[in-house]
Amino acid sequence: MRKGVWYGLLTGLALLLAACGGGGQPQPDLTLAGVSPQNPTVVQGETVTLTLTFASQNGFQGQVSLSVTENGQSPSWLTLSPTSAPLNVPKGGQAQVNLQVQVAGNAPTGPHALKLRVSYGDKVAERDLTLTVNAPPPPPSFTLSDPTPNPLSVQAGGTATFQVTLTSQNGFQGEVTLSLASGQDPLPQGLSITATSPSPITLQAGASVTVTATVSAGQGVVPGTYRLKVRATSGSLTREADLTVAVLTPYTNAYVHQVSGDGSVLVGSALVSGARRPMVWRINAASLSPGFYWLSAIAQQATVLDTGVPSAPYGVVLGVTADGQVGCGFGSVSTSASSGDRALAWDLTTLQPIPLPDDPNGGNTAYACAKSGSDVYIVGRVYPNFPTPTIWKNYTIWHQNTSVAYGIFHDITPDASKASAQLVYQGWVYDLNSNQYTQLVSSIGGAYWSRISPDGQAVAFSDSNYFATAKVWYGGNVYSVVMGFGAVRVRNGVAYVFGGSQYGRAVRWRSDTQVLEDLNTVFASVLPVGVTLKGISAVSLDNRVIVGIAYNPTTSQDEPFVLVGDPF
């Protein structure tokens, strides 16, 4: 009886334990033990792979669902693959699943605090995750600098050079080609560029290269100003920069006689189709840094002027007003323009010639011009017989010195107050306001040239019609100087005369030391190799632009130059 009772009790307890799970198989469990990498980074529009490590104490086998939330919401810019996966995690062991996380191209950049959720049955395992989304790096590319010089001048039928710099960006490397393209103006046929150094252009990653390119203008290109583009191309990559090209009328043997007050307008002459023609050049003087330039390289315009006198189509412009609006000179019947026949002025705004009243038999020349208010004064000479020193006011004869046998007015101050003159081989100055003549030098050997300083305090007279000699008047003293000259200035109580020596060197004479200074030495630091300054013909009134003739070793010719710098 007792044995039966105990047997019944044990049987009931076993059934009860079985019903409660006690004493049976342990329940499966799952934890998300790790995510690698812990703080992943991904670029917009790309995918990052995460390795999920699952662990189980009792073992797990079954399907799990994978999802991500940010602030409790599923981010619309993120896609998981797979979103479910079968797992078989041994008891006390681990299993791994690769999860692809793809972000949209417009995914918000920056760090995102996410929660990675694994669901199985009615259970959930979670782990925090910081995903950083970055914008994609810019593609490999390069930059193109602005051309130098710009604007660029080239004669029709000639060439000119400029430079640009190409710079690699974002690891770009490869070959680049240069070409001209239409800009604000259409690209004219016959105008092109070629990279000359280096050639071909190879750009290395992270590097820069400065390229020298040559502009070629065919004979048929119509002279004018063209606003174009320099185009740099490598495969599908294209970069452009503005370039203005001034195509000039072909000329040689140019000479500049005078410049406007700011140095932007230059007047003189050049051989055009074998004949000497009056010329005017325009440059952007204010934009030029101190240094040496060939006029042909920086001229924005080079214009051949009409004389307006069919019988005298050749000629020279000798003077220009300080504002650059009026020029003066002469027309000649000779193709070499070796002699003045008709005195001329030009409106340099409209480029129209203004023949001056003179003697129709020839021998007339307008040497210099100036303005006083709106009045234009022009000085020079008029035949008949021996030359008569003449001043025109507003293009009509205003004053003539008929009391002397012969003479010539050569120069006039910018304010039209004083004019220098040779009267019967004596050096004089004429005061236009008081109508008074003052003799400065009692005897000079030259008839055809003098220069007066802008303030009227110093005058240089040519002392020979054949040799480079001068007599300089300053402060009541007369100095004999062996030089030809183009400009006279006074600064800080010292008179300066700029010109050329008898040995073909540009020089500067000064009254305090009475020494000729070689300007090739003075400006040696800015002169290109092989260039020799041979003479100075003009200095701008702002004392910033120096103009003259120099030997160009590239062309083996003497050519006009512009030197920006302090002439003193």
Which of 195, 138, 197, 147 has the alpha carbon at shortest distance from 172? Answer: 138
**The pLDDT of residue 151:** 84
Evaluate if residue 361 carries a pLDDT over 90: no
Which pLDDT score, from 0 to 100, does residue 24 have? 57
Q: What is the pLDDT of residues 58-72, one digit of tens each?
A: 989 999 999 999 999
Nearest partner of 80 among 98, 101, 103, 106, judged by Cα = 101
Tell me, what amino acid is at 264?
A: S
- What number of other Cβ atoms are within 10 A of residue 131's Cβ? 24
- Domain residue spans of the chain: 31-134, 141-248, 252-564
Q: In CATH, which of 2.60.40.10, 3.40.50.10610, 3.30.450.70, 3.40.50.1400 is domain 31-134?
A: 2.60.40.10
- Rounded distance between C-alpha atoms, residue 49 and residue 101, angstroms: 6
- Give the whole-angstrom CA distance, residue 193 versus residue 233: 13
Q: Please give the structure tokens belonging to residue 160.
A: 């000119």
Contact predicate 301/267, CB 8 Å: no
Helices and strands: H and E segment counts in the chain: 3, 46
Amino acid at 472: V
Q: Which helix (H) or strand (E) holds 123?
A: strand 123-134
pLDDT, mean of residues 469-488: 97
User: In a 10 Å sphere around its CB, with 0-12 CB exposed, 13-18 middle and 19+ buried, how is residue 378 labelled?
Assistant: buried
pLDDT average, residue stretch 324-334: 97
Strand ordering across the sheet containing 93-103: 31-36, 47-56, 93-103, 78-81
Domains 31-134 and 252-564 share a fold: no
When pLDDT is cut at 50, 70 and 90, the band that residue 301 belongs to is: confident
Q: Which two tokens stand for residue 149?
A: 């010089």
What span, in angstroms and rounded, lies between the C-alpha atoms of 118 and 54? 10
Cα 345 to Cα 371: distance, rounded to the nearest angstrom: 13
Can you read off the two tokens belonging to residue 196?
A: 């000359």
Give the model's pLDDT for residue 240.
97
CA separation, residue 298 to residues 230, 290, 293, 375, 560 (Å): 18, 14, 7, 32, 11
Residue 436 has pLDDT above 60, yes or no: yes
pLDDT at residue 153, as a whole number:
85
| pLDDT of 336 higher than 90 | yes
Length of the chain in residues, anyone?
568
Give the model's confidence band at 29: pLDDT under 50 very low, under 70 low, under 90 confident, else very high. confident
DSSP state of 70: B
**Higher per-residue pLDDT: 150 or 81:** 81
- pLDDT confidence of residue 384: 77
Is the model more confident about 162 or about 4?
Answer: 162
Residue 535 pLDDT class (50, 70, 90 cuts): very high
Structure tokens of 240?
A: 């452009």
Which whole number is the average pLDDT over 380-404? 93
Residue-by-residue DSSP string for 330-390:
EEESSTT--S--EEEEEETTTTEEEEPS--TTS--EEEEEEEETTEEEEEEEE-SSSPEEE
Query: What is the 8-class DSSP label of residue 287?
Result: G
Using the predicted structure, report yes or no on whether residue 12 has a pLDDT greater than 90: no
Q: Does domain 252-564 have CATH number 2.130.10.10?
A: yes
CA distance 311 to 309: 5
CB 453 within 8 A of CB 430: no
- DSSP at 146: P
Tens digits of per-residue pLDDT, 95-154?
999 999 999 999 999 999 999 999 998 889 889 999 999 999 899 999 999 998 888 889
Provide the pLDDT for residue 17. Answer: 38
Measured between alpha carbons, how far is 547 from 265 in angstroms, rounded to an integer? 11
CA-CA distance, 367 to 447, in Å (whole number)?
A: 13
The secondary structure of residue 286, as a DSSP letter, is G
| Region 170-197 average pLDDT | 94
For 404-409, which contacts have Cβ atoms below 8 Å and span 24 or more sequence positions?
407/381, 408/365, 408/367, 408/380, 408/381, 408/447, 408/448, 409/367, 409/368, 409/379, 409/380, 409/381
User: 304: closest CA among 268, 347, 340, 265?
Assistant: 268
Percent of the chain with pLDDT over 70: 95
pLDDT of residue 25: 67
Distance of CA 456 to the CA centre of its chain: 38
pLDDT at 426: 97
Give 151: exposed, middle or buried? Use CB within 10 Å, 0-12, 13-18, 19+: buried
**pTM confidence score:** 0.69
- Average pLDDT of span 154-181: 93
If one compares 406 and 150, the residue with the highest pLDDT of the two is 406
What top-level class would CATH report for the domain 141-248? mainly beta
User: How confident is the prediction for the chain on average, in pLDDT?
Assistant: 92
CA-CA distance, 409 to 319, in Å (whole number)? 12
The pLDDT tens digits of the residues spanning 238-263 come to: 999 999 998 988 899 999 999 999 99
